[in-house]
Amino acid sequence: MSISLKKNSAWHARRGPVVLVIMDGVGYGKFASGDAVADADMRHFRGMEASCPSTRLKAHGKAVGLPSDDDMGNSEVGHNAIGCGRVFAQGAKLVSASIQTGAMFSGATWKALVAKLGVAKLGVAKLGGQDSANALHFIGLFSDGNVHSHIDHLKAMITRAKADGVRKVRVHVLLDGRDVGEQSALEYLEPFEAFLAGLSGGGFDYRVASGGGRQYMTMDRYGADWSMVERGWKAHVLGVGARFKSAKEAILHYRQEKPSLIDQDMREFVVEEDGKPIGEIRDGDSVVYFNFRGDRALEMTAAFEDDDFDHFDRVRRPKVMYAGMMEYDGDLHVPSAYLVSPPSIDRTAGEYLAGSGVPMLAISETQKFGHVTYFYNGNRQGKFDDTLEDYVEIKSDLVPFEQRPWMKTAEITDAVIAAIESGKYRFIRLNYPNGDMVGHTGVYQAVVCSLEAMDLQLGRLKLAVKKAGGILLLSADHGNSDDMYEHDKKTGDVTVKPDGEPRAKTSHSLNPVPCVVYDPEYAGEYRPELREGLGISSLAATCIEMLGFEAPEGYDPSVLQPAR
């Protein structure tokens, strides 16, 4: 049953479409040093910012449903907020609550994971029945970045596994260096291995078995590079890859080979003992993918679960009990088992606009295509109305982002301008990934270049929107390129590497993001001063009002203030 919007009789209909531009990873930095947004020649953006109604929006922490304001925003929760118009409790918060209340461990999935291993009874008092060859495996992003995962969730599950009598645990770590410090792997690994050692002994064997960088293996998304998943499968499942006596030895080895190597790009490692890998995944084992965010978990999930799988040769597919931390795709119900239910997001802007007969276009390149579709629509696959909606994916380049920092901005813009000129659409939403994807590389020159390339396209969009008599709304889903250097938390000074160069920061920022309204046929319906103190969830009501409708009940307020 479709839902529709009430028309606003006081709104003067524009000739052209409303175009929502998500400048991914573009915020307002608080440090002069390392703010690539401030350093870039973004004359088109600056010109609109100076001459048009503008404000700043919150894009992190509680404003997007995360546990605290110390938590950086990300593209997934950001697009959820932008598309649904309200703030929902998101993955990290839901998982933490499930662990704290014990709901995770009393659920059917956790019990099935333990039962698969043959543990006769819960509790360490009676350990009989578990075959020593059976292991509980954990695969996921190994940090406390709280964007895809959190190491505290992993530790809580491992602690509970021992309480439930699981004798053998193997952890397959995907090094971060992106949502946390670029060479911080040992800061997480060394205390974690001490934690595992403290749980081992007396019949228990808990160890790190394999790993590598998140941008090198396992965590691909949107089918951009299945070879990453294959490398992860070989290391985690088959025990195939460079062998080391420990994870620490592997990290030190790779850093000695290339001192500037960022953790996210670390090559694979397999921990061996007596010449054999210690953590192959075999029949009878249980596996938990402990990322709570779905986009970089779906492909490895498919490798474990899909019968008809042709992306690479799995060699063997072990018969295991597999579970995700959350349901990664609510429409396809993937994975088949999961530990925590995701937020139930309804009444999205896309659904309302489709129900109101608004023709729409969603477009980006591969890296962010799912964000302007799946995440914008409240973690929903597919369209609300095939006759009203068009989705366009521009294929991303398969090269490191710092080598093509302009990415596909020109191609996206070509398609959007053609769409504007066609007169077919009333609402167009697009994502320029540059500030985020290039920002994650830590290569400052490339980030500045990426932003200037994007700005050139903003200039083209402005002219097309003016000609068509539409509205251009510029914003972002979170900050990143506005905070490219690590700073001392107490003094604010830039931290430097031994060679004296600034230490790159590759994670998202906690900074506010722009909201600029370019409305060349403004008819006085709203005040030139936009509301302040709002979050990016207010963009949904803003777009709905610009299209001549009243925002739905319960939506966070629009940035537009009614004219006096």
The per-residue pLDDT for 330 is 61
Share the mean pLDDT of the chain: 94
Q: Predicted confidence band at 222 (pLDDT cuts at 50, 70, 90)?
A: confident
Q: Which domains does the chain have, with CATH numbers?
A: 18-90+344-546 (3.40.720.10), 92-340 (3.40.1450.10)
Residue 1 predicted with pLDDT over 60: no
HSE value, Cβ hemisphere, 13 Å, CA-based, for 161: 31
pLDDT digits (tens, 9 = 90+) for 413-467: 999 999 999 999 999 999 999 999 999 999 999 999 999 999 999 999 999 999 9
The single residue listed with the structure tokens 């629509």 is 377
- For 152, counting Cβ atoms within 10 Å of its Cβ (0-12 exposed, 13-18 middle, 19+ buried), the class is middle
Pairwise CA distance, residues 110 & 428, whole Å: 43
| Model confidence, pTM | 0.74
Active site annotation includes 260 = no
pLDDT over 70, % of the chain: 97
Pairwise CA distance, residues 117 & 286, whole Å: 7
How many helices (H) does the chain have, and how many strands (E)?
Answer: 17, 16
The per-residue pLDDT for 121 is 42
pLDDT digits (tens, 9 = 90+) for 41-63: 999 999 999 999 999 999 998 99
Lowest mean pLDDT, pick from 206-210, 400-404, 490-494 = 490-494
DSSP β-ladder status, 54-57 and 513-518: antiparallel
Backbone angles phi, psi at 367, to 5 degrees: -60, -30
Residue 129 predicted with pLDDT over 50: no
HSE value, Cβ hemisphere, 13 Å, CA-based, for 278: 23
- For 214, counting Cβ atoms within 10 Å of its Cβ (0-12 exposed, 13-18 middle, 19+ buried), the class is buried
The per-residue pLDDT for 509 is 92
Residue 127 predicted with pLDDT over 50: no
pLDDT over 90, % of the chain: 84
Query: Residue 418 CB: number of other CB atoms within 10 A?
Result: 11
Sign of CA dihedral 443, 446, 452, 455: negative
**Element holding 188 (H helix, E strand):** helix 185-199
Residue 38 predicted with pLDDT over 70: yes
Residues 85 and 349: beta-carbon distance below 8 Å: yes
- What residue type is 434 in one-letter code? N
| Omega within 30 of 0 (cis) for the link into 335 | yes
The per-residue pLDDT for 342 is 75
The catalytic position among 2, 9, 75, 286 is 75
